[in-house]
Amino acid sequence: MKVNSICRSLLVIATVGVPGFVKFDSSGLTQDHGLINAQSIARMVVYSIIGFIFVSLLLFRPPKSLRPQTPVNHFWAIGLLAYYVIFLIISAGVLPTRGIAIASYRVVEWVMLISLCWYYYHTLQSSSAGLNRVSDEFIHCLRWITSLPVWIVLVGLIFFPDLAYSFSSETGTYRFGGYLFYPNGLGVLCGIGSVLFWILPRNRVDRLWSIALFGFMILTYSRGAMVGFVMFLLYYNLIFCSFVRKISAVFVLLVVFIIFVSGSASDYFNDAATVASRGENIATTSTLNGRTEVWETSLKIIADSPWVGQGYIQGPKKIKEYFMQKWWAPSHAHNDLLNAAIAGGIGMAAFTLFIYILLAFKNFRLKRPARIKAVTGAVLIQCIAYSLLTPALSTHAHGIGITLIVLTGFLFAQPPSPEKKTHLSAVHAN
């Protein structure tokens, strides 16, 4: 088995993670299973195996050179490693020993994954295949990341149906994913996969799978995923389509908006509104299921310690101590920037914002075919939409955050400018 295939498999396994098989209280009000439970032990075992294999690769197949055939920017990995190390250093001064131990373990997970991703792209670019191979590997990796969780849930519907979907007795809605994969994150992966398999199909089956993934995204009832998907469609039409299609897209969106605002929507649009609200009342929907209240509480916590925060991982859990609602005990700020500010202060929130802005800039300057650029745009836009409602980077390693790391490595696997390329060729020649 080739090193590239091993690295890709490890990244996919880490991104998909261990499907949920322990029924935790989704409200966070009860902690019946404790910190160490079957789910957390399974996760630690999986990450330990990934780490062991990765270290073995480093020992037996070390990087050939820090100057691969295609010049690569190593600073993206250094910057991301610094991001989590700084979180840990800041936390050392504000957390108790137990909190530091938990934060350290989570940082070690991120360090291993970032290093693995760097090694993966570095190994690819050290070969003679060049950037085309890097693009193929990135797309191949995404195919597995977006499809494997869905297949696991589909199998779960047959053998463990109570784990594969969740049901709300208040709204009467079923959500695809359930305990196995949190519906909001699964919805984002389905949206990304739908774009990927439609734009870069290998055969007709891929197009059918794209349509299926779109349907599964709707079945997750994830409004963040739906909004992110619509944002991508707007981006795609504005960037990649002709002027006539751009105007047509804007016109259609404007008409739909007017119909909803005017209250004259047909039964079809009323059904769509029901889907968007998941059958919830206006008060619940208007606060994004209480997220706006969590944001208000987060701002108060940030004001208490604006410069160093409350500690990585453990700090955001203090929100439940300030949160006034009795039906929910949130464990994070439900926004990446606010979560980073609570965990490490305003400086870390600025660092998080810088990462997203840099990724958007690198995607805009991406020197790849339009179809590849459309796929990277889908990943970035839908992950950003997710991060507005759920932390992706400033929390523990999970599917959406790791997907962003995989995207980051690809965006920085860029050919140099003509002037720099000529200079580097002369250096290697000497």
Task: Domain ranges for the chain, please list them.
Answer: 3-28+36-429
- Residue 425 confidence (pLDDT): 41
H, E, C per residue of the chain: CCHHHHHHHHHHHHHHCCCCCCCCCCCCCCCCCCCCCHHHHHHHHHHHHHHHHHHHHHHHCCCCCCCCCCCCCCHHHHHHHHHHHHHHHHHHCCCCHHHHHHHHHHHHHHHHHHHHHHHHHHHHHHCCCCHHHHHHHHHHHHHHHHHHHHHHHHHHHHHCHHHHEEEECCCCEEEECCCCCCHHHHHHHHHHHHHHHHHCCCCHHHHHHHHHHHHHHHHCCCHHHHHHHHHHHHHHHHHHCCHHHHHHHHHHHHHHHHHHHHCCCCHHHHHHHHHHHCCCCHHHHHCCCCHHHHHHHHHHHHHHCCCCCCCCCCHHHHHHHHCCCCCCCCCCCCCHHHHHHHHHCHHHHHHHHHHHHHHHHHHHCCCCCHHHHHHHHHHHHHHHHHHCCCCCCCCCCCHHHHHHHHHHHHHCCCCCCHHHHHHHHHHHHC
- Residue 342 confidence (pLDDT): 97
pLDDT tens, position by position, 281-330: 544 444 556 788 899 999 999 999 999 999 999 999 999 888 767 667 78
**Which residues of the chain are under the pLDDT cut of 70?**
1, 25-34, 64-73, 126-131, 168-172, 242-246, 248-289, 324, 326-327, 414-430
